[in-house]
């Protein structure tokens, strides 16, 4: 396998970096972090005009039909520059489940509008247990005539407060749920629900990274059969979780590279005792450790993405990549703080933007402990 970027991928990388450098400066990032909406409609429109929303949507539904690796390249640049907003939730958690599990009618109804930037979509998966396992799904979808009535609470739903639609993962069986079930993966379905539907309530949560996570309460929300994406949905959810883990890993990888570039430049520019601090062995070791963490992890992430693009099941490789980037990104930002010293600990410094995201990124879609447990299961333990 060849991990060298194609000419098209190099164009995606360079154009994305130039665009985000000009259109999404750190001042805007801070402003959006502190706002309730968490995104800029003007920036969203410009990203749509570049074709980013439809990058991996098939051409017959108004997208570009690009590969998953193409998307990874774009997300790495978004992580490098920090681009707030509902891109990840809409493209990864929203459009990919519709591509994979939607009917032809649903694909034609929603995917072109996502590609055109008209719809923002997210997925409501985790519940108060906050684990990414089928046994944790307690939200119920009770059949009632030709409809379903959905009840339950979802936590840490990204961008739900501004989404037009929410893909809700619910259990259709009226029997026992969760750990008591002999097969908790059964009877899980995905429903595409309008956020404005009666009974849907969203509450914005305060998070360390300032990213917009929500609690979503479904109180006897009635939906039609047309909203059902998939009746045997856990395999779809697991496939999306694998892609989301790698996509988030690409963002985190980009952020780690940005921290290293900042620290390396500072090591050249900052002098102490009449010499650049980069000439001191301790600083050199910090930067060498950062480099090894980043590029060792990059191999795992892109190897897993290559396998997914080739249609190969890679749960063990995805778990390794997500566990590694979660740990590596935190180590890189901590070392970056040490290189910058006192100035890096001021809230006005960009280091805080990256460090906060390194902490929350490790937790999303399964932290390092969860991923190590998954690896152990894949090893037959």
Q: What six digits make up the tokens of 22? A: 């000009």
3-state SS, the chain, equals CCCCCCHHHHHHHHHHHHHHHHHCCHHHHHHHHHCCCCCCHHHHHHHHHCCCCCCCCCHHHCCCCCCHHHHHHHHHHHHHHCCCCCHHHHHHHHHHHHHHHCCHHHHHHHHHHHHCCCCCEEEECCCCCCCCCHHHCCCEEEEECCEEEEEEEEEEEECCCCCCEEEEEEECCCCCCHHHCCCCCCCEEEEEEECCCCCEEEEEECCCCCCCEEEEEEEEEEEEHHHEEECCCHHHHHHHHHHHHHHHHHHHHHHHHHHHHHHHHHHHHCEECCEEHHHCHHHHHHHHHHHHHHHHHHHHHHHHHHHHHCCCCCHHHHHHHHHHHHHHHHHHHHHHHHHHHHHHHCCCCCHHHHHHHHHHHHHCCCCHHHHHHHHHHHCCC
- pLDDT tens-digit profile, the chain (381 residues): 567 889 999 999 999 999 999 999 999 999 999 999 999 999 999 999 999 999 999 999 999 999 999 999 999 999 999 999 999 999 999 999 999 999 999 999 999 999 999 999 999 999 998 889 999 999 999 999 989 999 999 999 999 999 999 999 999 975 444 455 558 888 899 999 999 999 999 999 988 888 899 999 999 999 999 999 976 789 999 999 999 999 999 999 999 999 999 999 999 999 899 999 999 999 999 999 999 999 999 999 999 999 998 888 788 999 999 999 999 999 999 999 999 998 888 888 999 999 999 999 999 999 888 999 999 998 888
Predicted local distance difference test score (pLDDT) of residue 19: 97
Candidates 3.40.30.10, 1.20.1560.10, 3.10.20.600, 1.10.540.10; CATH matching 7-119: 1.10.540.10
Q: Does domain 122-232 have CATH number 2.40.110.10?
A: yes
CATH topology for the 235-378 domain: Butyryl-CoA Dehydrogenase, subunit A; domain 3 (1.20.140)
Predicted local distance difference test score (pLDDT) of residue 310: 87
Between CA 291 and CA 257 the distance in angstroms is 8
Predicted local distance difference test score (pLDDT) of residue 1: 59
pLDDT digits (tens, 9 = 90+) for 115-135: 999 999 999 999 998 889 999
Q: Closest Cα partner for 36 from 274, 292, 210?
A: 210
**Paired strand residues for 153:** 217
Residue ranges of the domains in the chain?
7-119, 122-232, 235-378
């Amino acid at each position: 396998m060849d991990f060298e970027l194609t000419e098209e991928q190099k164009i995606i990388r360079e154009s994305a970096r130039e665009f985000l450098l000009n259109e999404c400066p750190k001042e805007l990032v801070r402003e959006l972090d502190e706002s309730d909406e968490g995104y800029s409609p003007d920036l969203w429109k410009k990203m749509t005009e570049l074709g980013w929303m439809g990058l991996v949507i098939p051409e017959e539904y108004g997208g570009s039909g690009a590969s998953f690796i193409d998307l990874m390249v774009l997300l790495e640049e978004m992580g490098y520059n920090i681009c707030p907003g509902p891109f990840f939730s809409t493209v990864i958690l929203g459009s990919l489940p519709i591509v994979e599990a939607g009917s032809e009618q649903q694909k034609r109804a929603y995917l072109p509008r996502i590609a055109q930037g008209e719809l923002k979509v997210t997925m409501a998966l985790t519940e108060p247990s906050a684990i990414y396992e089928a046994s944790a799904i307690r939200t119920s979808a009770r059949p009632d005539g030709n409809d379903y009535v959905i009840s339950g609470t979802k936590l840490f739903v990204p961008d739900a407060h501004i989404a037009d639609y929410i893909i809700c993962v619910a259990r259709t069986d009226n029997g026992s749920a969760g750990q008591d079930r002999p097969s908790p993966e059964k009877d899980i379905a995905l429903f595409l629900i309008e956020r404005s539907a009666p009974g849907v309530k969203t509450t914005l949560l305060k998070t360390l990274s300032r990213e917009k996570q929500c609690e979503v309460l479904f109180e006897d929300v009635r939906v039609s059969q047309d909203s059902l994406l998939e009746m045997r949905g856990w395999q779809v959810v697991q496939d999306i979780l694998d892609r989301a883990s790698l996509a988030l890993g690409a963002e985190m990888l980009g952020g780690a590279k940005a921290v290293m570039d900042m620290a390396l430049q500072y090591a050249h520019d900052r002098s102490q005792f009449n010499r650049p601090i980069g000439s001191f062995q301790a600083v050199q070791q910090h930067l060498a450790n950062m480099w090894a963490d980043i590029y060792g992890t990059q191999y795992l992430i892109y190897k897993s993405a290559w396998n997914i693009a080739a249609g190969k099941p890679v749960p063990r490789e995805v778990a390794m990549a997500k566990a590694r980037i979660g740990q590596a990104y935190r180590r890189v930002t901590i070392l970056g703080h040490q290189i910058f010293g006192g100035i890096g600990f001021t809230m006005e410094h960009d280091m805080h933007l990256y460090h906060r995201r390194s902490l929350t990124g490790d937790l999303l879609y399964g932290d390092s402990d969860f991923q190590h447990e998954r690896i152990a299961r894949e090893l037959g333990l």
